[in-house]
Amino acid sequence: MSRRFLLAAVAVVISMAASAYELSLSDFVLSGARPKGIGTVEPAKQGKYYYQQDGNRIMRRAYADTKTEEVVLDQLADGVEEWDGYQMSSNERSILLWTASNPIYRYSFTADYYVYVRDNGQLLKLSEAGGEEIASLSPDGRRVAYVKDNNVYIRDLDSPSPTQITRDGEKNKIIYGVPDWVYQEEFGMLNSLCWSPDGNTLAFIRWDESQVPMYSMTMYEGDCHANADYALYPGSFDYKYPVAGEKNSVVNVITCDVTTGATTTMPLPIGDDGYIPHMAFSTRNDALMVSTLNRTQNDFNIYRVNPATAQVRSIYHETSTSWIDSELMNQVLYVADIMLLPSERNGWAQLMAYDLDGNLMRELTPTGENVTNVYGYDAKRAAVYYQTTAGPLNRQIKCTDLKGKVRDITPAAGTYSGQFNSDFTYYIQSFSDANTPTQYRLMTTAGKLVRDLQLNEEYAARYTAVNIPKREFVSFESDGYKINGYIIKPVDFDPAKRYPVIMSQYSGPGSQQVLNKWKMDWEEYFATQGYVVAVFDGRGTGGREKAFQAVVYQNLGHYETIDQLAAAAYMASQPWVDAEHIGIWGWSFGGYEALMAMSHPDAHYAAGVSIAPVTSWRFYDTIYAERYMRTPQENPTGFEQSAPLNKVEDLKGELLIMFGSADDNVHIINSMQYIAKLHGQKRQFEMMVYPNMNHSINGCGVREPLYQRVLNFFNRTLKK
């Protein structure tokens, strides 16, 4: 179905059904009201197939032929009710499955792991006790490496028992394989186990966190998932959390000869304060590629390490006057004898090709746009597929050959992303824009539509009706910089009236709220309740040149506040805005910026909502806080001036502050110290605490009443 025909069909359905359904807050904020997805797809080794979990079955399906499918696995182990997920071995002869997942932090978990051997139909439990972490199949599917009680084990599937590789692992002291909390949260590293291509070497990282200060969170019995052990006396959750300026884990790279079990520490020159944000084998067994950052995160290296000889060679070095984006650099690909690396060294995120000796072969993409995702390398055609900005608001898929010849795969307008098959003949295209809910199509990389997978017609018919407020993109200048934003007006908007305004923002470095993609959330709902909602991305946010982001370096909250105040002034200048009733909102960094903006001498906000805010970067973790601020010892003035905690006496407007008591990311100390300062200033404010809830304040049905609480607050303070 063509996009034009689809929209016409949707319009007919809307005209028939729009008046029959009245929208409520739950339509906007509950996950069940989101567009449908297509489930996780794992490309098969043969390019024409992919694997997909269907309930408790694992299926192999054909990209081009919907009738061609094979049941690869259709059984449960004794006592298992469902599989939580699966992973294929590289040769597709074994399937790793897990169940009984139990969360640790935001992304990590323990589980009971099983391996299904396709050759003989055996389903083996990894260990009788279960409760392993980060189990990883070897490329040939014959072995599984995993972590239990902070130590690394390898289980040969032909043997009934595992081999213990490390022995000094201990909770809150020594960790092997599983990254510590701050690596998981800020580098996005969840698993450091790396198999060599031939499966004869296992590499992993050792974290010594024995000198990292302990953090303790009080836990209560609660109501949802109640813990009766804490009915009369609270308990605690204790873990290592390094705040800015304090000690980090000391890290080392260990390699293990799988045949003998012998381990060797690789002599990487990283010191006690260095980071290892990424590690992977290239296509060669003698080339373990290790990325390192200094603690200041402005000096980056990639080392080529030979596990057999422990020879270490630096093949890439980059420095920055601000910070190096490790999330971007972690998208490096090692293919054949080529390293494909996204770098901002020229002021934009460009894709570059190096050989494994560190020689630059070519800059593959131009300046003026940012590579945002590297999808993979087509060896047959010597082409790299990637996502890039097409203007700050759009995301486009392109490919480039190794000579730098670029070809568009998708149009430029809207937000496109893709998942490619193994030989890069097909890809699953995801598309949305501000007016089109997410659509999934199977395409050839030559540009031919194979079939529609999920166009979300029913969703579009229900939620793109005339009673859904639409986003209008706008821009203005602040200090000579163009600031992009969007405005959501009520559907019955009357330019002769004056509306209260809610300024919504996140504002964190590299983040981006203003995008040409589908979104339906509380902002749209609040617009149905008589508000104009405005969102602006000020300096420091992403999608732009590095200089636009780096201006905030060592001075967080300063330029972001100038731009948010300029955005509020821009809104106040509109004839249909009630300039005396403008509020601001934010969560996490957005909650921090809401407090910063409300405390500026030129602020005129009538009210603000701050959820889970940082109130001093002294309270936040080393990797994030020091990336943008350096350490408190190096930048004491910056830390002092960037803290809402030091600006409480200047706070203007009514305040609602909200947080979870078990937030392992932005700790409760941030809000409690700020509240103590409010009391000291004899300030009145409103507060909502969510016992045992983490940074997301989600689950147990709390999200809808949370947003209702925010709406009630704004109704009292902005509709006077």
Across 538-548, b (16+ Cβ under 10 Å) vs e yields bbbbbbbbbeb
- Give tens-digit pLDDT for 201-258: 999 999 999 999 999 999 999 998 899 999 999 999 999 999 999 999 999 999 999 9
DSSP 362: E
Take residue 356 and report the two structure tokens written for it: 């494994």
Residue 467's pLDDT is 75
With tokens 């010892």, the residue in question is 633
In 170-237, where does DSSP find H-type helix?
181-186
Residue 455 has pLDDT above 90, yes or no: yes
Residue 10 has pLDDT above 80, yes or no: no
Residue 81 has pLDDT above 60, yes or no: yes
Closest CA to 85 of 55, 63, 65, 64: 55
**Mean of per-residue pLDDT scores for the chain:** 94
3-state secondary structure 405-437: CEEECCCCCCEEEEEECCCCCEEEEEEEECCEE
- Give tens-digit pLDDT for 385-416: 999 999 999 999 999 999 999 999 999 999 99
SS3 of 128, please?
coil
Residue 12 has pLDDT above 50, yes or no: no
Q: Is 55 exposed, middle or buried (0-12, 13-18, 19+ CB in 10 A)?
A: exposed
**Of all residues in the chain, what percent carry a pLDDT higher than 90?**
92
Residue 71 has pLDDT above 70, yes or no: yes
Take residue 257 and report the two structure tokens written for it: 């000869």
- d(CA 115, CA 83) in angstroms, rounded, equals 12
Residue 462 has pLDDT above 90, yes or no: no
Mean pLDDT value across residues 522-528: 95
Q: Is 284 exposed, middle or buried (0-12, 13-18, 19+ CB in 10 A)?
A: middle
Residue 11's pLDDT is 41
With tokens 């057999």, the residue in question is 308
Residue 401 or residue 29, greater confidence: 401
Distances (CA, A) of 469 to 59, 300, 465, 472: 41, 45, 9, 10
Residue 3 has pLDDT above 50, yes or no: no
Residue 224's pLDDT is 87
Residue 466's pLDDT is 63
Residue 8 has pLDDT above 50, yes or no: no
Residue 17 has pLDDT above 60, yes or no: no
- Give tens-digit pLDDT for 552-606: 999 999 999 999 999 999 999 999 999 999 999 999 999 999 999 999 999 999 9
- d(CA 78, CA 72) in angstroms, rounded, equals 19
Residue 222's pLDDT is 95
Judging by DSSP bridges, how do beta strands 607-611 and 371-378 pair with one another? unpaired
Residue 293's pLDDT is 98
Residue type at position 342: P
Residue 464 has pLDDT above 80, yes or no: no
Residue 167's pLDDT is 97
Residue 21's pLDDT is 52
- Give tens-digit pLDDT for 157-198: 999 999 999 999 999 999 999 999 999 999 999 999 999 999
Residue 465's pLDDT is 66
- Give tens-digit pLDDT for 116-161: 999 999 999 999 999 999 999 999 999 999 999 999 999 999 999 9
Query: What DSSP string describes 533-562?
Result: EEEEE-TT-SSS-HHHHHTTTT-TTHHHHH
Mean pLDDT value across residues 439-452: 97
Show me where the domains of the chain are located.
472-718
- Give tens-digit pLDDT for 303-344: 999 999 999 999 999 999 999 999 999 999 999 889 999 999
Residue 31's pLDDT is 72
Residue 4's pLDDT is 39
SS3 of 570, please?
helix
The side-by-side arrangement of strands in the sheet containing 311-319 is 275-281, 288-293, 299-306, 311-319
472-718 fold: Rossmann fold (3.40.50)
SS3 of 208, please?
strand
- d(CA 518, CA 540) in angstroms, rounded, equals 23
Closest CA to 293 of 275, 271, 268: 275
Take residue 701 and report the two structure tokens written for it: 């049905």
Distances (CA, A) of 269 to 102, 201, 299, 319, 481: 36, 22, 13, 16, 41
The side-by-side arrangement of strands in the sheet containing 143-148 is 133-137, 143-148, 151-156, 163-164
Residue 599's pLDDT is 98
Judging by DSSP bridges, how do beta strands 299-306 and 311-319 pair with one another? antiparallel
Mean pLDDT value across residues 533-552: 98
Mean pLDDT value across residues 618-647: 98
Q: What is the pTM of this model?
A: 0.95
- d(CA 677, CA 653) in angstroms, rounded, equals 16
Residue 9's pLDDT is 39
Can you state the angle between helices 558-572 and 589-598, rounded to 10 degrees?
Answer: 70
237 touches 692 (CB < 8 A): no
